[in-house]
Amino acid sequence: MNIFYDENIPYAKEFFSDFGKLTPFSGRDLTAEQVKDADVLLVRSITKVNQQLLSLNTRIKFVGTATIGFDHIDKDYLASRNVTFTNAPGCNAVSVSEYVLSAIMVMSERLNFNYFNKTVGIVGGGNTGTRLTEKLDALDISYLLHDPILEAAGDKRKFSSLEQVLACDIISLHVPLTNSGAHPTYHLLNDVRLKALSAEQILINACRGEVVDNQALLSLKQNNSGPHLILDVWENEPNVLLELIPYCQLTSAHIAGYSLEGKARGTEMLYLALSKLVKTPAKYCLSEFLPTADLAEIGQQSSDVIAHIRARVFQVYDVRRDDKIFREQLSEHSFDYLRKNYPVRREFSALVLASEQKNCLVKIKNLGFNLTK
């Protein structure tokens, strides 16, 4: 079996070597000629899998994307050729939710506000939006949730209108990119909706760049209007609207879901799907490959709950690291280079605490940190 995989899919060799010959490739530059002999194709979001890419291939049986989204996959075409397809729903949902939480903590410090007193508006109640609600519940932070598709499908959670969610102190976007249907998300935040946001609000986009009209956002900021911006995703990636960067509080190169656990969880999900397809019992699990986290201990622990929880979050992941890399290196390196060479980042669960302050214990545990018994 010939298995072709994106070189940035972690632990691909460890998971898939038993299936056959492995061939890595650069995801952005993949050609039909390169994959003409592939039985299995494993990609990430930067590779468009369609008739053009597979025009020379007569043997493909399985296509998997190690990502939540699949707008880069022509599923109808794959179905017409009887090719099994799978994505990795929820694989990096924890990672993205922790990115958002770290960003909120940074802004609470930078703008001097109590994050317990803020209300977060979440657009999208799928895997990632749900993980974020769990983090907010752990901290007793209020939120409103908007997802008309899930609401219409009978989801029993309490939903709010888009207008109500966009009136919250902090707005976090977690929807797929869609251009059709009853609720398309392309430019969901258009010029009109962006102009309605105040300078006191915080807007976080860690889903798809095209959900927000970047040109409208730039015009708004150039006129000294609009919310505080935290952008992990951009329209027309990898061609970032460079003029918008100076107007952002925090920026990064579409890496919100790039924790080691998040990326590797996607690999494991593809491995399990392929094992099922070829009727081979799964031999490996992710825990066998993940290294022990090397995380520095925080200094003197603050008795203030707000400051202490913020310090624990930053102990594992401080989004300012990625903002610094993005601003300093984008002019020298490409957007894809920053993603490919993204430094190791772990999730809260990688931090094992031998002890914790009693007044923070429940919150820390519910956030996903590990505590030894």
Radius of gyration of the chain (CA): 21
**CATH number of the domain located at residue range(s) 305-371 in this protein:** 3.30.1370.170
- Residues 229, 231: Cα–Cα separation, whole Å: 6
pLDDT value at position 243? 98
Q: What is the pLDDT of residues 175-217, one digit of tens each?
A: 999 999 999 999 999 999 999 999 999 999 999 999 999 999 9
- Please identify every residue annotated as catalytic: 208, 237, 254
pTM, 2 dp: 0.88
Q: Which fold has domain 93-251?
A: Rossmann fold (3.40.50)
The encoded tokens of residue 370 equal: 């590990």
Residue 254 has pLDDT above 80, yes or no: yes
- Residues 322, 327: Cα–Cα separation, whole Å: 9
CA–chain centroid gap for 190, Å, is 22
pLDDT value at position 228? 98
Tokens 């039909």 map to which residue?
A: 32
Q: Which helix (H) or strand (E) holds 353?
A: strand 352-353
CA distances from 112 to 121, 143, 306, 307 (A): 20, 20, 11, 11
Degrees to nearest 5, angle at CA 171 with 192 and 191: 15
Give the percent of the chain with pLDDT over 90: 91
Q: What is the pLDDT of residues 337-348, one digit of tens each?
A: 999 899 999 999
- Residues 3, 274: Cα–Cα separation, whole Å: 11
Angle, helix 93-110 to helix 260-277, in steps of 10 degrees: 170
- In the chain, CATH 3.30.1370.170 sits at 305-371
- Which class is 2-87 in CATH? alpha beta
The torsion of the CA quartet 49, 51, 54, 59, rounded to 10 degrees, works out to: 110
- In the chain, CATH 3.40.50.720 sits at 2-87, 93-251
8-state DSSP, 73? B
pLDDT value at position 92? 92
